[in-house]
Structure 1
Amino acid sequence: MADFATTTPLPAAHPHPHPGPGPAGLAQGAAPFAERHIGPRPEEQAKMLALLGYAGLDELTEAAVPATIRMTERLALPPARSEAEVTAELRDLAARNRVLRPMIGLGYYGTHTPAVIRRGVLENPAWYTAYTPYQPEISQGRLEALLNFQTMVADLTALPTANASLLDEGSAAAEAMTLARRSAANKAPVFLVDADIFPQTLAVLQTRAEPLGIELLAVDLGTRELPETDFFGVLAQYPGASGAVRDLGWLAERAHERGALLAVAADLLALTLLRAPGQFGADIAVGTTQRFGVPLGFGGPHAAYIAVRSGLTRSLPGRLVGVSQDADGAPALRLALQTREQHIRREKATSNICTAQVLLAVMAAMYAVYHGPQGLSAIARRAHRHAAVLAAGLREHGYRVAHEAFFDTITVHAPGRAAELWHAARLAGVNIRLSGADTVAISCDETTTWSDLQALWLAFGVEGAQAHLLDEATPDALPAALERTGAFLTHPVFHRYRSETAMLRYLRRLGDRDVALDRSMIPLGSCTMKLNATTQMEPVSWPEFADIHPFAPLEQAGGYLTLIGQLERWLAEVTGYDRVSVQPNAGSQGELAGLLAVRAYHRAQGQGQRDVCLIPSSAHGTNAASAVLAGMRVVVVGCRENGDVDVDELREKLAEHRDRLAVLMVTYPSTHGVFEEQITDVCAAVHEAGGQVYVDGANLNALVGLAKPGRFGADVSHLNLHKTFCIPHGGGGPGVGPVAVRAHLAPFLPNHPLHPVAGPQRTAPPAVGPVAAAPWGSAGILPIPWAYIRLMGAEGLKRATQVAVLAANYVAARLSPHYPVLYTGPGGLVAHECILDLREITRRSGITVEDVAKRLIDYGFHAPTMSFPVPGTLMVEPTESEERAELDRFCDAMIAIRGEIEQVASGAWDAQDNVLRQAPHTAASIAGPWAHPYDRVAAVFPAGAAQAADKYWPPVRRIDGAYGDRNLMCSCPPVSDLAEG
């Protein structure tokens, strides 16, 4: 494994700086962080255990976790530290990063996050602890923010429909490629790529194209010629990586003549000044919204975008917010076309995207709301003026600037001197881009100042240039024929909130419409909604972490590299694997990276025919979608009545596909929330047949400190840091999905062309390539899981897992007399979640899981996961962070709802007009005329008068999803329409 390195070599340092006094380094008198993170106090745990019949957590663990996988050793992690000490360590790491003026470009730019947005969104738990808006009635605030995002993108690209964000520009370009392939009339497997594309985007395209049999062909669009070969699509960069601004109208015409689609990777800020893709005939536009107030973060997280012309809407990947109406006919928002989500389509999927970058999309949208079209245009004009003046000063002193037309980036010719100038700029405090032996590129942005230009001129040997004089004498470098015409961002939301007071109140008003983890328990099975501690979150905003460009010289990122290296090693120790890559920026991308590693491994072994991926019928839907994108054939294996994988059928499938078997993908504990006892036998059988074992890490919250997938038979897993390791869900993103592998797969982990040390150092056989645009993915939020592990230590992590298992079994025990628990393991125990079976209840009463979910809103709760993995069920995961009082409050609500269901089943309440079918109830609904046969107080205060003071009032009644899908509206509707509604 000498050819593998995840970080650059660093000077030797003390592995655990800032040793504190007292046991395990805890400051005297400080409560260990684990006591803050774990909800139930020891005395509460004892009562919960007594209900289950166990004397202690270890006894429960021995009963629940199969002995064949159970660990006996302690995790080899640094000792737990106090919050103050971990903050000091992070300060030390941050100080090892050096923030220079970021003028590298390539899709990443300096930006000013308005303080009201930073504090009101990024640092506000009402926004960052929310879950994906699958329950739209209690997500109207963030759905409106996402509708603002979609409207912003649609307006700026001049394309009618945009989705609610994608992961990054590189993977968005890959989604555009596959969208074009399935939508174009020309079915030739060739995709043309602009030679002036961002290099990281090209690398991601190469990674994604090869398994799908797509040939990428680079074309110089400056020649205005296309190859004679057939092709299904073209991707152009606008402006180009070199800064060139080119007329692409001819390209749209030529592509359409050939039956192909045109996708444009466009800079949104530039589109306030330049003709938009939709105005010159593009079919698809993709890009990033990072420069709309989202910090650089060493590469992420940032919200990418994708927008399409009419006719392609129902092929869009990812999520789409649409306008529907509620039970009273009032306008209401929801995720449109939900069943179209790619992971639900499983092996028929065309994308594995099951998430978004909601928190960052909200920030970008609010940046546009705050600045409005005039403000955005002014920011763009200022960035352009700085670039034009910089170019003028260099030209006056003999430098040749490559392009006459540019927006914010110039390429400067300096034969034989490029490296010298690059180094001189760094000494002057500015990072520019070394784009060849004879050229450098420089990008201006919102943060660029006249002083930066003066510093660069001096570094380039230009003396006497005065920015203000050059500004007066220098014309714009934007071609008049390409200047944008027509209004954009015309909706009142982009004009109404100019003062900080107005913006603050708008953010508060939207936040108050939602149920997030700061308000109550979110008992979603398989989603692990638990405490995202403030101490972990704070460093994300520190400039030393927030303001580092992903392609900055690595000696400026020593703190990041140390943190990443430690986190990767700790995650490897926790999971029992040998190597970890944090590059994948979502669980779906971690799955893809792991499967690509398996595919590349088999090919390196001379067994390229191995392309069958076995997946149990209960698996997460992204598993099958990722397998398809990795070039594999999905073969489904059935499950038994108890939810376990049908081992007999598995053995039949292994025998049938023995020569072509690539991998088995399983989730452990199972998607049904059970520790399957035969997992080691399953792994052994797959290995004997020549395959690899992929264990989906979605349910790792039941394993940390108790068992290691890499030691009980798995070869590869992805981990969800936004679940087990406390990165917040952010309303549906950001996430991080690291991929962890055993040593033989390590050479095939993702790499990156711009920072090769981010992955395996291989040439033969070649490495897989990147799955994300940035070398270390969403590095800006990696301080969160680093801090979590550092605060918890080995014993704290184990205790958290044990209490998560305890809480799930406690809820199952309290609710089982009222709702059958569908699957259990030995001793009637579940793992970290339980499935409540409502199918017989529905048959008897007509009350569905959706009715129960909406009625829970009246009790102040977010619903559990509905109808996954089994239709007609609710999957509950309480996590370790909820106190016993909150667990009991949820159980009491579910028991009370069961009583309400019996009122319907017995005929005492009307089958249609009852508190369940009519839920949720708004304040407006009880303030007006009341025609229901049940009491108003019972409708809105089901838990009694004590609930009144803290009552959550949903802003809308139950939303009509079918109406929204029939009348799809995916951008802000005119105010007149809302008034009519």
Structure 2
Amino acid sequence: MSNAKSLEELEQKQDFIRRHIGPSPAQVSDMLSALEVSSVQELIDQTVPASIRLEQPLTVGQSRTEVETLSYLKSVASKNKVFKSYIGQGYHPTNVPHVILRNVLENPGWYTAYTPYQPEIAQGRLESLLNFQTMTLDLTGLDLASASLLDESTAAAEAMGLAKRVSKAKKANAFFIADDVHTQTIDVVTTRAEQFGFEIIVGKAEDAINHDIFGALFQYPTTSGEVVDITDLIAGVQSKKAIACVAADIMSLLLLKAPGKLGADVVLGSAQRFGVPMGYGGPHAAFFATRDAYKRSLPGRIIGVSKDRLGNDALRMAMQTREQHIRRDKANSNICTAQVLLANMAAFYAVYHGPQGLKTIAQRIHRFADILASGLKAKGIALKHSTWFDTLTVVSDSKDDVIARAIAKGVNFATNHEGEYSISVSETTTRADITELFDIILGEGHGLSVDAIAADVEANSSESIPASLVRDDEVLTHPNFNSYHSETDMLRYIKRLESKDLSLNHSMISLGSCTMKLNATAEMIPITWPEFANLHPFCPLDQAEGYQIMIGELHDWLVNITGYDAVSLQPNSGAQGEYAGLIAIRKYHESRGDAHRNVCLIPSSAHGTNPASAQMASMKIVVVNCDKNGNVDMSDLKAKAEEVSENLSCIMITYPSTHGVYEETIREICDIIHEHGGQVYMDGANMNAQVGVTSPGFIGSDVSHLNLHKTFCIPHGGGGPGVGPIGVKSHLAPFMPNHSVINVPGTNIGNGAVSAAPYGSAAILPISWAYITMMGSEGLKQATEMAIVNANYLTHELSKHFPILYRGRNNRVAHECIVDLRPLKEQSGITEMDVAKRLQDYGFHSPTMSFPVAGTLMIEPTESESKGEIDRFIEAMVSIKGEIEKVISGEWSIENNPLVFAPHTQGDVLGNEWDRAYDRFYAAFPVPAVAKNKFWPTVTRIDDVYGDRNLVCSCPAVETYRD
């Protein structure tokens, strides 16, 4: 092979690396010149302590082209066998409306946006989430709903936590779970209870009242399909001053009486079957509703209606101080990631079909269940229950033969119990499918006619839903659910909402600690392939061979990247990964007879999720101080480690620190903790400054979570999905999460699950797999190095105008920096909030505001942003500094300047009245670059106080729309 051909192939292999990394070679040279270094390596040498730099390069392979990557992954995906799934148990085939598939799930305008902490530039997805909440309230019959949780099982665990907080049965320490709740939910709730020290009682639903409990969980309909009136059970639980929780099937609630109407205190479930593929377990949005009286204990985020500065209705995240990163160890839970993208899909599904369309779908599903039941009973087949919505459980002596015939025809049933199998029909079921089911169960030549049975079923009123449980009230009456049923109308509605939101396809989102980087199109394409999208998480493993290959390769690569010995991919958020890692530590100590070790040291610079997660693992939190340079105070650490030595469980530390520096003492910190018998938990939020350069395992850590939605390119989706796998050293590997339905190899049998599905949000793992494949060992290292170059260049330029709060060795920062606005605030009265809102007028999302230090902005440019975009951001910040100086000089008053009136909408700028000290054009176009790609906020500054004092968490009344 000629050298020219070899070079050509090498360049082609590295093509994706050049596309992922934003700065061109010339731009890199310019930035290095500004930093007064001659090479990237010289900057790395100045920045990263030599003691922690990897001695050997990564071994994940050479980079592959996009074409090679997708071709190989398609061959892997083809090894999955996509059978017709009747397994049910919380996961159902669904028809994703193509207008939603193309314009939401596959649209970067929806999947690259960030959590709506800056609501003025997030009104579109906030409206969609408000639709989700309204849908939840209507279907559950309760007062207050959240904007989605992680999955049904973890939502049930959150319900248990809420029950303990609000129950008046204060002496009770037991939570009851009916034995006909989904198996995976019992598993996850039991794991959570163990960490809290609660007792779990699993038994017949009617036995709940025979125990001293603070709460109980029922399934409606049950996991085996029975539809039972649980009104008396709920009342019995409440008579004991306990909280009654109900896990409900969302589709069934179109036909069944709302659990809230039956008296339930909490209703939860999965919104998956509202147009979200099964995806081998996720990601899926869970819905959660409760009574208004419990709003302060509701887990997760709530979208509320408030007013903007001009008095217009405006949406925002209500009661934001409930967020765990603010409340830390006082948080209701450690929830950080929601499932916003998936909640939006479910909400749009409800909007598109409307109440009548949804009811028609539900009626069709139920009618097919009736037809199937009628035919089976006519042939003497015994059914376990006389009521059902969509699921029939067959009692059979010939179960094995039936299952064998089903598998031969490419069909899966649920087979959890001896002598029984269950069949759950779905939106995708057809009359031909019912005929096939008769053939499988009865054998061919049974003589049944689906058409004849259907005619008979339709001629006779069905009693499979008890008359007392038939829903008789209207749902989804709001105009949003009754206006967009043609594809034209729906397309325009989706686009109208998308246009209100700033996302990565508009501009750089420089959020410190959040790593908003390129989510490449080639990485996203596989998630909608049927071979990945349409598998049930509990299908036999031999049908998921492609998933097992892909997951195995991703596992091995993450082991190599992290320096650990094993990885669990089950946690479906970063905070969930923290929780799983702490459980592994706790179980490890217990295995050694050290169950008393329950103290967790946490530096004051740590992520807010750290103390919240430690609290969920029932650890006692001891805060370690930081010095004036932002580093862990070593003398304080040594003193506190010595003080709690007998009971030390672990330390939770972020590296590089949340202050944006590589602490020189990190190895010493690990040694101190190990000397006192503790474990080192290294928060993986800042892995984008480690990959290929160092690793947590090499540094000396025992366990970390990885934010695949940060470092490894899974998009944020407007606030979720996320994936938070944990990497562990070999001594912790046996204590990683397992699963009660599908055993996860390498972990102890009996280890509880932390997520509903064995591999968490498996459907989006191909994104990270593709990123690693296309970057290869060298590309991953280059990404880290370029993140450091970009951050240091940005820091260097901004330091000419603003103080930078913390720096590491040689005056360098890691992958992010903290700009200190407090001196300017003291001089001018202009707040960090004013700066954040004014940045919107320049077309930028604010950096992370007031975290980890109040009055500051934490900025992370990532490797994906070009020098041109970084310079544009710097220009905006410098221009804003000039505006603040005009306030300081008195040219503008503190009451009348563009910062306090920011952001400026079109309506504001074009209004009839203008009494500002600055002109209209400057308000909207403060620098020439803005005019090239103007993004208009759709509301002015939102009144947070008004929104919390007047809490409205469902779609505004119809009169609002008439106005």
- TM-score w.r.t. structure 2 length? 0.98
Q: Tell me, yes or no, if structure 1 residue 760 matches structure 2 residue 746.
A: yes
Please state if 1:279 is matched with 2:261. yes
Question: SS where residue 857 of structure 2 aligns?
Answer: strand
* Partner residue of 1:472 out of 452, 455, 468: 455
Structure 1 equivalent of residue 330 of structure 2: 348
**Mapping of residues 815-830 of structure 1, within 5 Å:** 815-830=798-813
Provide the rounded CA distance (Å) in 2 between the counterparts of 1:236 and 1:338. 31
Q: Flag the 1:277–1:648 CA change in 2: closer, same or farther, 3 A.
A: same
Give the corresponding residue for 1:4: none
Q: How is 1:216-231 mapped onto 2 (pairs within 5 angstroms)?
A: 216-221=200-205, 224-231=206-213
Q: 2:420 matched to which residue of 1?
A: 439
Counterpart contact for 1:418–1:436, Cα < 8 Å: no
| Shift, 1:23, TM fit | 5.3
Aligned length: 952
The aligned counterpart of 2:587 is: 600
Q: 1:807 to 1:365 in 2, by over 3 A?
A: same
Mapped to 2, the partners of 1:29 and 1:778 lie a distance apart of 32
Q: 1:924 aligns with which of 903, 907, 919?
A: 907
Consecutive unaligned residues in structure 1, runs of 5 or more: 1-20
User: Residue 703 of structure 1 corresponds to which residue in structure 2?
Assistant: 690
Which has the larger displacement, 431-440 or 508-517? 431-440
Q: Secondary structure at the match of 2:748?
A: coil
Q: How many angstroms apart in 1 are the aligned matches of 2:11 and 2:576?
A: 43
1:430 — aligned with what? 411
Deviation at 1:24, TM superposition (A): 9.9
Secondary structure at the aligned position of 2:22 is classed as coil
Provide the rounded CA distance (Å) in 2 between the counterparts of 1:607 and 1:213: 16
How many angstroms does 1:72 deviate by? 2.5
The aligned runs of 1:10-89 (5 Å cut-off) are 26=9, 32-89=15-72
What does 1:641-680 correspond to in 2, within 5 Å? 641-680=628-667
Distance 1:425 1:24, change over 3 A: farther
Q: Which residue of 2 aligns with 1:192?
A: 176
Q: Is the 8 A contact 1:716 1:740 kept in 2?
A: yes
Q: Shift in Å at residue 761 of structure 1? A: 4.5
- From 508, 515, 518, the equivalent of 2:505 is 518
Q: Are 1:574 and 2:561 counterparts?
A: yes
Say whether 1:636 aligns with 2:623: yes
What is the rounded CA distance, in whole Å, between the counterparts of 2:957 and 2:707 in structure 1?
Answer: 39
Q: Structure 2: which 5+ runs fail to align?
A: none
Q: SS in structure 2 opposite 1:170?
A: helix
Alpha carbons 1:170, 1:204 under 8 Å: kept: yes
* 1:725 equivalenced with 2:707 (yes/no): no
1:167–1:357 Cα contact (<8 Å) kept:
yes
The residue aligned with 2:187 is 203
Match of 2:359 in 1: 377
How far apart are residue 673 of structure 1 and its match?
Answer: 0.5
8 Å contact from structure 1 (residues 752, 759) kept in 2: no
Cα deviation, 1:790-833, whole Å, max 9, x if unaligned, reads 00000000001000000000000000011100000011100000
1:399 Cα deviation after fit: 1.0
Cα distance in 2 between the residues matched to 1:226 and 1:921? 57
1:895 aligns with 2:878: yes
CA deviations 1:931-980 (Å, max 9, x no partner) are 11211111110013x53352111100000001100000000011213555
Contact 1:866 / 1:874 at 8 angstroms: preserved in 2?
yes
CA contact (8 A) 1:860 1:952 kept: yes
Q: Distance in 2 between matches of 1:128 and 1:26?
A: 33
Cα distance between partner residues in 2 of 1:839 and 1:924: 32
Contact 1:718 1:740 in 2 (8 A): yes
Q: Deviation at 1:22?
A: 6.3
Partner of 1:322, secondary structure, is: strand
Give distance in 1, aligned partners of 2:245 and 2:786.
Answer: 50
| Counterpart-to-counterpart distance in 1, 2:904 and 2:635 | 49
Distance 1:771 1:31 in 2: 38
Q: Which residue of 2 aligns with 1:15?
A: none
1:535 equivalenced with 2:514 (yes/no): no
* Pairwise CA distance, 1:349: 2.3
The runs of at least 4 consecutive aligned structure 1 residues that moved more than 4 Å come to 21-31
Contact 1:430-1:452 within 8 A present in 2 as well: no
Inter-partner Cα distance in structure 2 for 1:917 and 1:710: 47
- CA 1:87–1:465 in structure 2 vs 1: closer, same or farther (change >3 Å)? same
CA 1:759–1:626 in 2, change beyond 3 Å: closer, same or farther?
Answer: farther
Q: Distance in 1 between matches of 2:328 and 2:747?
A: 34
Structure 1 residue 915, shift from structure 2 partner: 0.4
Query: What is the rounded CA distance, in whole Å, between the counterparts of 1:29 and 1:290 in structure 2?
Result: 40
For 1:833 and 1:651, the matched residues in 2 are separated by 28
Which residue of 586, 589, 602 corresponds with 1:615? 602
How far residue 340 of structure 1 moved from its aligned partner, in angstroms, is: 1.1
For residues 217-237 of structure 1, give each alpha carbon's deviation from its aligned partner in whole angstroms, at most 9, with x where no partner exists.
11312xx44343311111000
Which residues of 2 match residues 45-444 of structure 1 at below 5 A?
45-187=28-170, 188-221=172-205, 224-415=206-397, 417-444=398-425
* 1:285/1:887 CA distance change after superposition, 3 Å: same
Where does 1:936-951 land on structure 2 (aligned, <5 Å)? 936-944=920-928, 947-951=930-934
SS class of match (2:306): strand
**Is the 1:611–1:631 contact (alpha carbons within 8 Å) kept by the matching residues of 2?**
yes
Q: Please, which of 831, 837, 844 is the counterpart of residue 854 of structure 1?
A: 837
Contact 1:815–1:891 (8 Å) recurs in 2: yes
Instruction: State the distance in 2 between where 1:856 and 1:54 align.
Output: 31
Task: Quote the offset at 1:342 in angstroms.
Answer: 2.6
Distance in 2 (alpha carbons) for counterparts of 1:639 and 1:28: 46
- Counterpart selection for 2:703 from 716, 719, 728: 716
CA distance in 2, matches of 1:827, 1:435: 61
Q: Percent identity?
A: 54
Q: Describe the shift of the 1:135–1:23 C-alpha distance in structure 2 as closer, same or farther (beyond 3 A).
A: farther
Matches of 2:781 and 2:400, distance apart in 1:
51
Q: CA deviation at 1:30?
A: 6.5
Partner of 1:740: 727
Distance in 2 (alpha carbons) for counterparts of 1:195 and 1:174: 16
Alpha-carbon distance between aligned partners in 1 of 2:120 and 2:515, rounded to the nearest angstrom: 21
Q: Distance in 2 between matches of 1:711 and 1:338?
A: 38
SS in 2 for 1:411: strand
- Preserved contact between residue 234 and residue 262 of structure 1 (Cα < 8 Å): yes
Does the aligned pair in 2 maintain the 1:161–1:307 contact within 8 Å? yes
User: 1:581–1:759: 8 Å Cα contact kept in structure 2?
Assistant: no
Are residues 626 and 130 of structure 1, via their aligned partners in 2, closer, same or farther at CA, if it must alter by over 3 Å? same
Secondary structure of residue in 1 paired with 2:815: coil
Cα distance per residue 1:86-144 (max 9 Å; x no partner): 01011101101110111100000000000000001000000000000000000000000
Corresponding residue for 1:558? 545
Structure 2: which amino acid aligns with 1:762?
N
SS in 2 for 1:706: coil
Contact 1:864 1:874 in 2 (8 A): yes
Q: Secondary structure at the match of 2:696?
A: coil
Q: What is the Cα deviation at residue 911 of structure 1?
A: 1.0
Amino acid at match of 2:698: R
CA offsets 1:744-798 (integer angstroms, 9 cap, x no match): 0000000011111x243535xx53x110000100000000000000000000000
CA drift of 1:419 comes to: 2.5
Report the CA distance between 1:523 and its aligned residue.
0.5
CA distance in 2, matches of 1:239, 1:26: 58
* Whole-angstrom CA distance in 2 between matches of 1:273 and 1:868: 47
Q: What residue identity is the alignment partner of 1:232?
A: F
Local SS of the residue matching 1:782: helix
